[in-house]
Amino acid sequence: MKFISIFYCFFLLSVLGIYWSLAAQKLRLWTLLIASLVFYASLNIQYLPLLLVLTFINFRLGLEIGKNTSLGPHSQDWRISNEEWQFAQADWNLRRLKILWLGISLNVLLLLSFKYLPYILKSIFNLSINSPDASFKFIAPLGISFFTFECIAYLIDVYRGAPATEQFLKFATYKLFFAKLISGPITRYHNLATQFNTLHFPTIDRVSEALWLIAKGAVKKGIFADHLGIFVDLCFGNLQRAGSTDLWLATFAYGLQLYLDFTGYVDIARGSALLFGFVLPENFNFPYFSTSIAEFWRRWHMTLGDWLRNYLYFPLGGSRRGLVRTCWNLLIIMLIAGIWHGSSFGYVVWGAFHGLALGVHRLTDAISDRYESMEKFWQNPLGIILAWLLTQLMVYTSWICFRLPNLQDSSFVISHLWGRSADEQFAQKVYVEALNMSQYQLTWLLLAIAALMGIVYAFNQKLKLEFNWPIKLVFVPLCLYAVWLLAPEGSLPYIYFDF
């Protein structure tokens, strides 16, 4: 069941009708949980038992980690000495730490097994279980990366002092909530659990905002991302015939496709959740208008960036142990981010590229702090434009390794970005027959999409202007009709389903 489909529309309306007709919180949670199981079963039913078991295991581990340490020997015998109590407390904290590491190890090993099992089998036994000749196809559970990251965050939060939930129904509903289960945003348990206790039927402005998010997300994904994806697939699927200009256009188009695809999904997810009374965290804040790679990661996939900072970067020491250690920490977390995305070396290179860029940015900042003229340069219009161009060049070229994780393919593209002419048949097949537009027209189309994003950014971020709820309600049916009319046949799958 895809978000952009008539089936999802009927599914969402049916669940909403049942959900808001019930007054008891417990019945509403059961409604959401059952609906989430149905939703996941429509996509990946074979792994549903696994997700339920993992949900229960993490729930039990959270309970063990979160047991009140004050209810120890002191509560059983008030005559125990302070020294004995301190030893008992130290032993209990050590036990909690061991349980935490057990939970983290379980989730990490599970994630790595699904991510890297095909690669390991191919390397050791020369067997690829995704090959056409294999007796079965290996398909990792949809959303397993987001699922395990949320579990790890929950266990660490409880270890740090947040209360562990004693209600499995509430925890399971949080973990399996269909709006965020497949592709995020990564949501902390305590953020959503608080909202479980304060549910109110959404007001008209909230309903209009929810419908606007769904309609806007459908346009981003169904019209823009899918049409861009057709060209990207054609170009990167025929590397030997594409010319340098085609490769540059495909790289730019893929950067836009990835953003519009992912942010479109998140918009629909957040809009769907808002109809149930839940506010999911934002995941994007116009990242392509960042003037540094550090700012880019504060705006791109923000919930993943928040996870990496809170559960990896800060425990490694963050920026508290000197400039060199800070740069190493940045490289490490970005390498882990690359490994998280997949088993191919291209993802590792992508992560290393971003880690090095973050390190260079930190070094540049440190040098600029020492020289006033250099600091002023980066703050004047010329410096800002140069910083933006350098940031976008780095980000877009790194997407090549992300889109083509096979290093042989990505190396081929990078080495042929200059001085290569396209095959005549390529131009005929791609631009004339598939796209029905020239290379020149496609270039202007990509620039128009970028300009439209710039206009939205200016109104939203700079002028702080947005439509009021009546105008949003007017545009909702127009947007959905445009998607129905203009979206290509056979919509492309969401890109982040692979991660």
Going from the C-alpha of 37 to that of each of 40, 45, 117, 192, 438, the distances in angstroms are 5, 9, 26, 18, 46
Residue type, 470: P
CA terminus-to-terminus distance, the chain: 18
Distance CA(105)–CA(108), nearest Å, equals 5
Phi and psi at 164, nearest 5°, equal: -85, 140
Distance CA(65)–CA(63), nearest Å, equals 6
The 10 Å Cβ neighbour count of residue 215 is 24
Distance CA(245)–CA(419), nearest Å, equals 9
The angle formed by the CA atoms of residues 26, 50 and 36, to the nearest 5 degrees, is 40
DSSP letters for 175-219: HH-HHHHTT-----HHHHHHHHTT--PPPHHHHHHHHHHHHHHHI
227 is an active site residue: no
Going from the C-alpha of 306 to that of each of 46, 187, 278, 311, the distances in angstroms are 31, 10, 20, 8
Distance CA(51)–CA(40), nearest Å, equals 10
User: Which is the catalytic residue, given 74, 200, 301, 341?
Assistant: 341
Q: Which two tokens stand for residue 442?
A: 């496609």
Residue 490, burial from CB neighbour count under 10 angstroms (0-12, 13-18, 19+): exposed
Q: Is 301 left (phi over 0), alpha (psi -120 to 50) or beta?
A: left
Distance CA(267)–CA(285), nearest Å, equals 12
Query: Interhelix angle for 244-275 vs 439-457, to 10°?
Result: 40
Q: Is 143 left (phi over 0), alpha (psi -120 to 50) or beta?
A: left
Per-residue DSSP letter, 140: P
By annotation, the residues acting in catalysis are 341
